[in-house]
Structure 1
Amino acid sequence: MDEETDAILDPDVSPKADFDDVLVPTDGSKASRAAARQAIKFAQRNGATLHVLYAMDMGDADYVAVPSDIEQTRKRLQKKGERYVAEIADLAAEADVPCVTSVTSNTPIEAILEYVEENDVDVVVMGKRGRSDPDKPLIGSITNRVIGALDVPVFTA
């Protein structure tokens, strides 16, 4: 465990595996930043490419808002997502880890599942809980559903 982040994955003691593509989804939360730090170490140790994903979840906005509000919300979420993935990409660059970023419009769960499949991701490193459920005692609902839905390893931080 990493004392600073309480992470389950410690790339300094984990055996080297054949992972070429590591995905870290982010929502900008403290837990996702901790996961990003661990994912960068993991990618560095394995010579892997780091993939950073932010999902713009519009929810029911398409049904309740006027078109100008929807577009304004999309732009705001796009800008926020670009900022979150850029922060992690900067950390990856400092560690000399190749990095690919993506901001997509979908629910977090669907975005993660689609990204893993479309990009042949080998492992996912994500926060135990995100912005929507920071007080959960173990893991949040999105992390729980991703773990149950994927066939690739999912590590939490």
Structure 2
Amino acid sequence: MTAQRTFILLAAAGSALTLAMAFGFQHIGGMAPCKLCLWQRWPHAAAVVIGALALALPARILCWFGALAALSTAAVGGYHTGVERGWWEGPATCTSSGASGMSADDLFDQIMAAPVIRCDEVPWELFTLSMASWNMILSLLLAGIWVQAARKG
């Protein structure tokens, strides 16, 4: 196996493992994700697909796209960390949904029944770092692995 393929496998597996852990926290741990948590998942899913393609096709340009995906989720993780720490405000629509065609009573019932999942609260942390912070750190490392894969091509 070439060094490039090894780096591609490591980077794609890192994103796959990160996604698996996020779904584990959600479905086994009962921690529903906020909007920013969900935004952090999409680039990891893209990186897994990019990894599969890079193993089957000429890989150099795809590795740069993998690095971009990892940097994207790292950026969202950094933004989310700032929201959690109160450094800046998060999206106002973090958990809202449309209300057209609903009566005031129906809207009130929906609001009261909906779980509140706030982007500015930390539901879990390890060594004082939240899941968003850990995602940012891991994703920066994965971006470095993708860059190494691109350079080996």
Given the two structures, how large is their TM-score scaled by the length of structure 2? Answer: 0.29
Q: Greater relative contact order: 1 or 2 (C-alpha under 8 angstroms, separation 6 or more)? A: 2
Structure holding more helix per residue: 2
Larger radius of gyration: 2
